[in-house]
């Protein structure tokens, strides 16, 4: 007598085996996704901290440019028909203060590590990925202008020595190189060159103020988006 094959039992066992395999894959996928979300939270938090630090430094730099532009505006005004007759000592003090050139160098350590390792791929929100990927490139003009004012519009010898500007303040032993009178009427050729320097620095400084303000707004928006995404992941910023 032939033995009857237990088809039902084989079917049930097969279903159990398949279910076990699917469950194992499901658990593995769940665990991998959980790890990705943890890695994403760490990355977002690090990026938010880096951008917060950059924001503080950029605000200080922008305020420095704003003060410098204001002082340069006074120096330029006093060389023209609208001069209010400020004393030469006051003008020389202003000229000395505009020698300080504020400079913002963005900290990009976390961003560069993220980009080099394709870490952006673990960020779920496509808008945040896009904003992060091209963030600093959108402000290339700012950094170019900053480089221009730093490298080419530095305080040059003709401004200090040929006009006598600041000689009394900084180089008392070189008093014979010039008087401490800021502007004469009419302007001497050397003073015209100094005025060109102040005017160009004033113009580019104004650009750096407006561009810095735009960058601050963009950073604020990005930080808010990062914090919102962290909140969605259950992490308090």
| Separation between Cα atoms, residue 155 and residue 161, nearest integer Å | 11
Please answer whether residues 50 and 110 qualify as being in contact, where contact means their C-beta atoms are separated by less than 8 angstroms: yes
Instruction: Say if 13 falls within a structural domain.
Output: no
Distances (CA, A) of 175 to 72, 135, 189: 24, 50, 20
Q: In this structure, what DSSP letter does residue 85 have?
A: -
Instruction: Say if 146 falls within a structural domain.
Output: yes
Structure tokens at 14: 């097969």
Instruction: Say if 3 falls within a structural domain.
Output: no
Element holding 48 (H helix, E strand): helix 7-77
In this structure, the number of other CB atoms found within 10 A of the CB of residue 134 comes to: 9
| Separation between Cα atoms, residue 233 and residue 134, nearest integer Å | 24
Query: Which pTM value belongs to this model?
Result: 0.77
Q: In which region does residue 166 sit, left (phi positive, over 0), alpha (psi from -120 to 50) or beta (all else)? A: left
Instruction: Say if 110 falls within a structural domain.
Output: yes
Kindly give, in sequence order, each residue whose CB lies less than 8 Å from that of residue 215, ignoring residues fewer than 6 positions away: 58, 139, 142
Question: How many domains does the chain fold into?
Answer: 1
Structure tokens at 148: 């221009």
Q: In this structure, what DSSP letter does residue 160 have?
A: I
Instruction: Say if 180 falls within a structural domain.
Output: yes
Kindly give, in sequence order, each residue whose CB lies less than 8 Å from that of residue 109, ignoring residues fewer than 6 positions away: 50
Instruction: Say if 99 falls within a structural domain.
Output: yes
Domain that holds residue 168: 43-232
Per-residue pLDDT of the chain (237 residues; tens, 9 = 90+): 556 666 666 666 666 676 666 655 666 555 555 666 788 888 999 999 999 999 999 999 999 999 999 999 998 999 888 889 888 778 877 877 887 788 999 999 999 888 887 778 888 889 999 999 889 999 999 999 988 877 655 455 455 545 544 433 444 443 444 445 678 788 877 677 778 878 888 999 999 999 999 999 999 999 999 999 998 887 666
Dihedral sign (CA 107, 108, 111, 117): negative
| Separation between Cα atoms, residue 187 and residue 195, nearest integer Å | 9
Q: Give the pLDDT of residue 34.
A: 60
Q: Give the pLDDT of residue 108.
A: 92
Instruction: Say if 171 falls within a structural domain.
Output: yes
Q: In this structure, what DSSP letter does residue 234 have?
A: T
Instruction: Say if 12 falls within a structural domain.
Output: no
């Amino acid at each position: 007598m032939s033995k009857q094959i237990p088809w039902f039992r084989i079917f049930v066992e097969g279903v159990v085996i398949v279910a076990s395999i699917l469950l194992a894959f499901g658990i593995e996928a769940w665990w991998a996704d959980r790890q990705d979300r943890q890695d994403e939270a760490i990355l977002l938090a690090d990026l938010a901290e880096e951008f917060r630090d950059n924001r503080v430094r950029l605000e200080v730099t922008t305020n420095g440019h704003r003060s410098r532009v204001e002082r340069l505006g006074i120096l330029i005004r006093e060389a023209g028909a609208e001069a209010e007759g400020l004393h030469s000592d006051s003008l020389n003090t202003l000229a000395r203060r505009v020698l300080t050139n504020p400079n913002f160098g963005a900290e990009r350590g976390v961003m560069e590590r993220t980009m080099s390792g394709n870490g952006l791929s673990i960020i779920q929100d496509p808008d945040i990925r896009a904003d992060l990927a091209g963030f600093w490139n959108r402000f290339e003009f700012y950094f170019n202008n900053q480089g221009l004012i730093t490298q080419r519009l530095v305080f040059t010898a003709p401004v200090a020595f040929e006009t006598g500007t600041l000689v009394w303040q900084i180089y008392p032993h070189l008093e014979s190189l010039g008087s401490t009178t800021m502007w004469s009427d009419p302007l001497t050729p050397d003073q015209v060159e100094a005025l060109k320097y102040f005017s160009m620095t004033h113009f580019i400084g104004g650009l750096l103020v407006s561009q810095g303000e735009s960058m601050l707004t963009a950073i604020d928006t990005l930080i808010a988006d990062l914090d919102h995404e962290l909140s969605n992941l259950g992490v308090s910023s």
